[in-house]
Chains A and B, each alone.
Chain A
């Protein structure tokens, strides 16, 4: 599938950047004329993926997060969020609703929300090497991207 446009950001794994990341992704994808609901879903899945890197990948402020956003033909969007942190020992367990290795201030619902608000999610992780989450989502179908 042909890539039409892309952007990549690298930023410090600090919680203040969660808002920046989701607004940057939503702003970049506004060229696809998404609905308000689609924009809210994009912001939410980015926020969940980036928060996972910050909370679970690193102790706060000790690493960086890379976010790549691609637009493909057919209104397909791919958001790839990766860290070089601790990695996930058991991915199926991590994706189980309400499971968290965080404290009681985490709900353990991040992966469930990413699954619910995207069309496909893939997680790759190696212990001690980091984690990459790839989220695919189709936007609207009102735009073929030919004027990009």
Chain B
């Protein structure tokens, strides 16, 4: 489940609940629909309300990174709980996206 706000082509998506292989397909579709609708210059993914994340979350970020790059934009990640930060650190996501 997600909420979002859009402000001057800054799209912030608030992700809720668990990110695993089961939930990731729906999550990808929802975010990509918003990106195509608003054409943001920056996509901010907010993880504050994420209870669980496995490597499916890494793939969600990598896919959105590729999509935003193809549109000339960028991705930022914010408010990562410790368990999410730990997973993303293992994948060195910091090399590709800004983590706030």
Given contact pairs A40-B86, A51-B20, a sample of 9 additional A-B residue pairs in the complex whose CB atoms are under 8 Å apart: A15-B21, A15-B22, A44-B52, A104-B59, A105-B28, A105-B63, A107-B55, A107-B56, A109-B90
Q: Within the assembled complex, what's the spacing in Å between the Cα atoms of A109 and B56?
A: 9
Chain B, residue nearest A115 (CB) = B90
Residue interface bits A27-48, CB-to-B below 8 A is 1, else 0? 0000000000100100110011
Contact B21 A44 (CB under 8 A): no
**CB-defined interface of B57-80 with A at 8 Å, one 1/0 digit per residue?**
011001100100000000000000
Q: Are A105 and B59 in contact (CB under 8 A)?
A: yes
Interface size counted on chain B using CB atoms at 8 A: 23
B63 touches A104 (CB 8 A): yes
Mark interface residues in A41-79 (1 if CB within 8 Å of B CB, else 0).
001100110010011000000000000000000000000
- Decide: B59 and A47 in contact? CB cutoff 8 A: no
Chain B residues with CB below 8 A from A40, complex form:
52, 83, 86
1/0 per residue A99-123: CB within 8 Å of B? 0000011110110110010000000
Distance, CA A15 to CA B52, complexed state (A): 15
Q: Please list 29 pairs of residues, one from A and one from B, whose beta carbons are closer than 8 Å in the complex, sorted by A's number.
A: A15-B22, A18-B21, A18-B22, A19-B20, A22-B52, A37-B83, A40-B52, A40-B83, A43-B52, A44-B54, A44-B87, A47-B21, A48-B55, A54-B21, A104-B59, A104-B63, A105-B24, A105-B25, A105-B63, A106-B55, A106-B56, A107-B58, A109-B55, A109-B58, A109-B91, A110-B54, A110-B55, A112-B91, A116-B90
* CB-based nearest A residue for B89: A116
Instruction: Say yes or no for B82: interface residue by CB 8 A criterion.
Output: yes
Q: Are the C-beta atoms of B20 and A37 separated by less than 8 Å?
A: no
Main secondary structure of the interface of B (DSSP, over half): helix
- Chain A residues lying within 8 Å of B24, measured Cβ to Cβ, are 105
| Bound form: Cα–Cα A116–B92 in Å | 13
